[in-house]
Amino acid sequence: MKPETIKALVKRAQHGDTDAFGELYDWLKQDLYRFAFYLTSSPQLAEDAVSDCVLLAFQKIRQLKKPQSVHSWFCAILRNCCREKQTEKARLQQQIDIDALSLVLPQESDLALHASLHAALQKLPQDERELLLLSVLFGYNSRELAKMLDTKEGTVRARLSRTKAKLRETLGEGEDEA
């Protein structure tokens, strides 16, 4: 979606246009669900977190000061919703349904590889997983991530590099690099 279209939709949504908010949600829903799924490891918790996020965003859309930041704003709200759902995750302890996993992954991809990736991601601490997903799934650069996470760009780059190395090691790619 073009930046000017996004800004216009945000402005309309801030003035109470529910259709404009719906268009914003339609634009973001797949990314939001994918992000929530990888953070919670549960299709149900991911759906709940996204629902909570959308409700909060709808209630607070007037507080968004920079319409062009709507994507990262939704993402920040969703991160908090996912954190709240983590306590539910511990209680539910559901196994990942391979069919549900296929809903969030490209269909032409090798499902076994993505299942391995998902398992490796779950071994990372929450903050490292979030950083990696924000970088890879949403394409945020170190400057944007530093602003989002209220830290320095160099710190973000170093953490991201260490996290990627851990992930490579977990996936078995790090063995050949030694």
Q: Is the dihedral of CA 39, 98, 44, 77 positive or negative?
A: positive
For the chain, residues classed under CATH 1.10.1740.10 are 1-108
> How many whole angstroms separate alpha carbon 69 and alpha carbon 88?
30
For the chain, residues classed under CATH 1.10.10.10 are 124-178
Say if residue 29's pLDDT is above 90.
yes
Say if residue 142's pLDDT is above 60.
yes
- Residue closest to 36 by CA, chosen among 25, 23, 47, 21: 47
pTM score: 0.60
Tens of pLDDT, residues 62-101 = 999 999 999 999 999 999 999 888 765 555 444 344 445 4
Asked if CATH classification 1.10.1740.10 holds for the domain at 1-108, the reply, yes or no, is yes
What confidence tier does 115 reach under pLDDT thresholds 50, 70, 90?
confident
Name the DSSP letter for residue 16.
T
Query: Which residue type sits at 92?
Result: L
CATH number of 124-178: 1.10.10.10
| pLDDT the model gives residue 110 | 56
- Residue closest to 127 by CA, chosen among 150, 104, 143: 150
What confidence tier does 114 reach under pLDDT thresholds 50, 70, 90?
low
> How many whole angstroms separate alpha carbon 68 and alpha carbon 29?
17
Q: What DSSP line would sit under 57-124, residue for residue?
A: HHHHGGG-S-GGGHHHHHHHHHHHHHHHHHHHHHHH-PPPPHHHHHHHS-TTS-HHHHHHHHHHHHHS
- Residue closest to 148 by CA, chosen among 133, 165, 163, 167: 133
Q: What is the average pLDDT score of the chain? A: 82
Comparison of pLDDT for 167 and 73, the residue scoring more: 73
Neighbour count for residue 30 (Cβ, 10 Å): 11
